[in-house]
Structure 1
């Protein structure tokens, strides 16, 4: 697919919601939030005020960035939705993920738990099906995501996933590499978004 010259306007951040996370991960989330604000890239995230997602959203907002939280009704209290940023409240997790996808030009994956894994696998599955070509960047401190990458490679080695799938993302080791990696991938057309809505 040919590249477009349109400016990258938004990045969805998938990450952990635990306040017990490594303080270095929380600091990285704050640094990412500021970096997105400085680059005038809107932060789209899961809407909560806890863990890495809360740290990223607060930092982006404090730096004057545009922030959109998308959260289901049943998590508003549990994940302490940030009152100071714009929110869309949806009925369920499926709607949350779909709207996060539709409102985002690109994706950043920070360390996270089972919820983050579920989001990532669905996002990359859609990429595998050619339903989108949006940039995906993993922040991989201390080789955090290497076990997942090895599992993906295992499915390739077993001829269950095409080898080209391993090019569906970029992994970086430092926060200051994230925004340049997003921009380097460029913004490509993804005319099949309607198909994602039908299949997701």
Structure 2
């Protein structure tokens, strides 16, 4: 059976709260010990470097996808299993998505939000069958969860599609969500 790839989106900085580093290490441990591979942005700084190191320390394999220009700034992680260099940020996001079986967003900034939001949109369009998880440690993604709920309330997202998103800080809940996940049906447009 093919090992599943978990694409993790997260910050290239550590943030101000050390507990975010601790939960990142725990997610890396969970990935490695559950026999998953990590796919991520290829950097060595911040939570990105931490998740890669944690997966490696726990027996997992790590594939990083990084642009040439970021690599030239000497932020590429040279200790991972495989580093793939691409030309543009769009190519980077596409490659990370193409390799994924599961998407998880840890805390991060605008880039993290862009990445997870894009794959959520693709899931709604039935462009991939992968679960999308917002690892909601310290209620980090509560405002995003409320915004998706508002989209449903205002008629811009189907309730069924919203129910396919997981917001949790529980590894057990995340495992159950992954094990029972059924992708949303493609949205049909009828002049709504």
Instruction: Report the TM range for the smaller structure's normalisation.
Output: 0.7 to 0.9
Helix, strand or coil: the match of 2:104? strand
Q: 1:134 to 1:102 in 2, by over 3 A?
A: same
Q: Structure with the greater relative contact order (CA < 8 A, sep ≥ 6): 1 or 2? A: 1
Are the equivalent residues in 2 in contact too, given 1:139–1:172 (CA < 8 A)?
yes
CA distance in 2, matches of 1:178, 1:52: 22
What TM-score do you get using the length of structure 2 for normalisation? Answer: 0.87
> Which residue number in structure 2 is paired with residue 48 of structure 1?
43
Which runs of structure 2 are paired with 1:82-161 in the superposition (5 Å)? Answer: 82-85=77-80, 86-161=82-157
Helix, strand or coil: the match of 1:87? strand
Asked if 1:38 is matched to 2:33, the reply is: yes
CA distance in 2, matches of 1:83, 1:125: 32
CA distance in 2, matches of 1:47, 1:178: 28
Q: 1:18 to 1:181 in 2, by over 3 A?
A: farther
CA distance in 1, matches of 2:47, 2:167: 18
Asked if 1:59 is matched to 2:54, the reply is: yes
Q: CA deviation at 1:64?
A: 2.0
Q: 1:183 to 1:157 in 2, by over 3 A?
A: closer
